[in-house]
Amino acid sequence: MTAPRTMMPAARYGLITAVLIAAGVALLGAAPDWRGPETTPSDVTEAAFVAVTRADGAPLHVQKHEVTVADWNRCHDGGGCTLRLRARPGQDPAVTPATGISHADSMEYLHWINDETGQAFRLPTAAEWREIARPVLHDDAAPIFTDPALDWASTYLSEGEAPRALRPQGSFSTTPAGIADLDGSVWEWTQDCYAGAAQGVDPARCPAYLMGGEHVAAMSYLIRDPARGGCAVGTPPAHLGLRLVSDRPVTRP
C-alpha cells in the first residue's frame, strides 16, 4: 500500500534538506534536484537503503536506520508534519530516532516525503518487518496457538528483553544485510491493520495497527506514547517510531 500523495504549494518550501540521506545529499527549491560532490542515484541508495529479497522473491528496499528527529523536523518545517519533535538534552537530533510518533503522524510524513522526492515510500507489512528482523531477534518460542492469525497471542506472556532507553542510531544489532537497530528500543509502525475480531474493516477506519519490535504489538493509530494509553501484546513498546521501505530502488526525483 503506497501512501497517497498530496500536492503542496511550492511556495511553502524554501531550502529543503533531504531527510533520508546521511551522506549530506540535499533537495533544493521548488523543483527538487539531488546535489553533492559527484553523487549518483546508486550512491544515494547505498547510503540510506539496503536491498533485500522477500520470501516471495520480490525485492524490497529498506531504510538502514529509523527516521530521525532531524528528518522529522524537516517535514514539520516544510509544512508536512503537524508534530515537532525535540531531542532530549545531550542527544543529537541527526542520529536520534524520531519517537512519540502515532500511525496518523507517520502518514503525514509519508505523504510529505513522497511529494518532495517523487518516490513511493511506504511502511512495511508486519510480515516483511519480521522477516527483515529475524536475524537479530531472539529465537521464537514454540507458539501457544497454531493458527497463524493468532501469532500475536502466542507472545502475550513474553518477557521483555529489549532495552528501554532511547539510544542513537547504530547502538543495537545490524542484520547481515546491513539494517540497523531492529532489536532496539523503538517499535516501528507497519501498514497492517489490527481490528481484533472484526472482519473486513475499512482501512480508512482502522482502529489499531501492528508494530514491529521485540514482539508483536497492536497499538491505537492515534497513540504517541504507549505508557499513556493504548495496548500491546506482551511488554508494551518503549518508543514508537518508523522506518521506510520501497518496492523499487530509490532514484533521483
Tell which of 79, 95, 123 closes a domain.
123
Distance CA 32, CA 10 (A): 10
Report yes or no on 158 lying in a domain: yes
Please indicate, yes or no, whether residues 160 and 116 belong to a single structural domain of this protein.
no
Tell which of 74, 103, 123 closes a domain.
123
* Domain membership of residue 170 as a residue range: 126-241
Report yes or no on 5 lying in a domain: no
Report yes or no on 2 lying in a domain: no
The share of the chain scoring above pLDDT 70, in percent, equals 66
Please indicate, yes or no, whether residues 64 and 133 belong to a single structural domain of this protein.
no
Maximum mean pLDDT: which of 20-24, 36-40, 135-139, 164-168: 164-168
Please indicate, yes or no, whether residues 153 and 218 belong to a single structural domain of this protein.
yes
| Averaged pLDDT for residues 25-30 | 34
pLDDT at 35 over 60: no
pLDDT at residue 192 in the model: 94
**Dihedral sign, Cα of residue 152, residue 153, residue 155, residue 156:** positive
Please indicate, yes or no, whether residues 24 and 105 belong to a single structural domain of this protein.
yes
* Cell triple for 148: 497463524
Residue 1 and residue 124 in contact, taking contact as beta carbons nearer than 8 Å:
no
Distance CA 158, CA 9 (A): 48
Please indicate, yes or no, whether residues 207 and 151 belong to a single structural domain of this protein.
yes
Residue 82 and residue 63 in contact, taking contact as beta carbons nearer than 8 Å:
no
Q: How far is CA 32 from CA 38, 146, 177, in A?
A: 17, 50, 30
Question: Closest Cα to residue 180, out of 65, 47, 13?
Answer: 65
Please indicate, yes or no, whether residues 214 and 109 belong to a single structural domain of this protein.
no
pLDDT at residue 83 in the model: 97
How many domains does the chain contain in total?
A: 2
Tell which of 79, 101, 123 closes a domain.
123
Distance CA 48, CA 20 (A): 6
Q: Tell me what percent of the chain is helix, strand and coil, each rounded to the nearest 5.
A: 25, 15, 60
Please indicate, yes or no, whether residues 19 and 109 belong to a single structural domain of this protein.
yes
Report yes or no on 249 lying in a domain: no
pTM here is: 0.73
**Tens digit of each residue's pLDDT (9 = 90 or more) over 43-94:** 334 468 999 999 899 999 999 999 999 999 999 999 999 999 999 999 999 9
